[in-house]
């Protein structure tokens, strides 16, 4: 039985942990060779397992804000693996606060990683997809890029930017055979999630957010990876420019009692 990504090369940012690591594993299970990229050079077991499934897979460390490093790593991936077919932009950071209390450096930090980082990776990966004759880009935003969240400010703005960037890229590259879609996770149990909500006194707030998901729980990284797999695969050959919430019903509406 062949995998859904047999013969494909996937470049994945944020590949050392969370959604990125889960996606690397899921794509490798379906036959893809992975070129992982992350600021952290210490990877989770998921990535190690992915590399074991697809032994030709490679991992490089670096910052998505560093254009020279992004250019270098993508060029290395193309040279090593013979090209690129899939790009998954899952690198990201949290941040926020009311605008009048948010320092410019904090704003720039989140926007530079979440929005500019997505732009820079796509800027240097798209030519490789064009050279390949087409491919798939899966950007990762958030339900907070679709609707507001108290105190979200810069995080929401950065993820909203990724959603609109995705739509424009879908238009710009469709005739080059490149599909571009964006996954919008709900609240997913990742290291980033636990860093934000694991602080003392956050338990009650965490429970409120859990209840806002109509399925009554938080998501798992592999559930986002499964959605990304569909968008990256030929099964989604007529899907482009789509904003796909994978959120347990978080954006479906509100529950009042019961």
Q: Please tell me which residue in 119, 155, 173, 250 is annotated as part of the active site.
A: 155
Across the chain, the runs of DSSP E, i.e. the strands, are 9-13, 33-38, 58-61, 86-89, 135-140, 178-185, 243-246
Q: How far apart are CA 218 and CA 206, in angstroms?
A: 10
Q: How far apart are CA 110 and CA 177, in angstroms?
A: 31
Q: How far is CA 162 from the centre of its chain?
A: 10
Whether residue 119 lies in the annotated active site: no
Quote the DSSP letter at residue 175. G
52's CB contacts (< 8 A; 6+ apart) are none
Two tokens, residue 243: 């904003």
Q: How far apart are CA 36 and CA 11, in angstroms?
A: 6
What sign has the CA pseudo-torsion 214, 220, 225, 230? negative
Return phi, psi of residue 251, to 5°: -95, 5
Coil/strand/helix, residue 59: strand
Core vs surface per residue 97-112: b (16+ CB within 10 A) or e = eeeeebeeeebeebbb
Q: Which residues are catalytic?
A: 155
């Amino acid at each position: 039985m062949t995998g859904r990504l047999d013969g494909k090369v996937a470049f994945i940012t944020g590949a050392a942990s969370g959604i990125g690591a889960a996606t690397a594993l899921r794509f490798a299970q379906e036959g893809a060779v992975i070129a992982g990229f992350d600021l952290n050079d210490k990877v989770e077991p998921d990535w190690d397992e992915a590399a074991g499934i697809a032994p030709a897979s490679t991992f490089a460390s670096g910052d998505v804000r560093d254009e020279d490093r992004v250019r270098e790593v993508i060029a290395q991936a193309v040279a090593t693996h013979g090209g690129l077919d899939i790009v998954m932009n899952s690198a990201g950071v949290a941040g926020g606060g009311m605008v009048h209390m948010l320092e410019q450096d904090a704003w720039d930090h989140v926007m530079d990683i979440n929005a500019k980082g997505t732009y820079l990776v796509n800027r240097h990966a798209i030519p490789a997809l064009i050279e390949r004759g087409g491919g798939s880009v899966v950007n990762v935003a958030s339900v907070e890029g679709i609707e507001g969240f108290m105190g979200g400010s810069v995080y929401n703005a950065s993820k909203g930017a990724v959603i609109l960037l995705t739509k424009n890229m879908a238009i710009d590259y469709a005739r080059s055979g490149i599909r571009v879609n964006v996954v919008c996770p709900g609240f997913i149990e990742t290291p980033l999630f636990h860093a934000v909500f694991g602080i003392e006194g956050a338990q009650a707030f965490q429970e409120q957010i859990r209840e806002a998901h109509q399925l009554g729980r938080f998501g798992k990284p592999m559930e986002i990876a499964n959605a990304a797999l569909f968008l990256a695969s030929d099964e989604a050959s007529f899907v482009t420019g789509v904003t796909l919430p994978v959120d347990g019903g978080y954006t479906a509406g509100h529950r009042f009692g019961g």
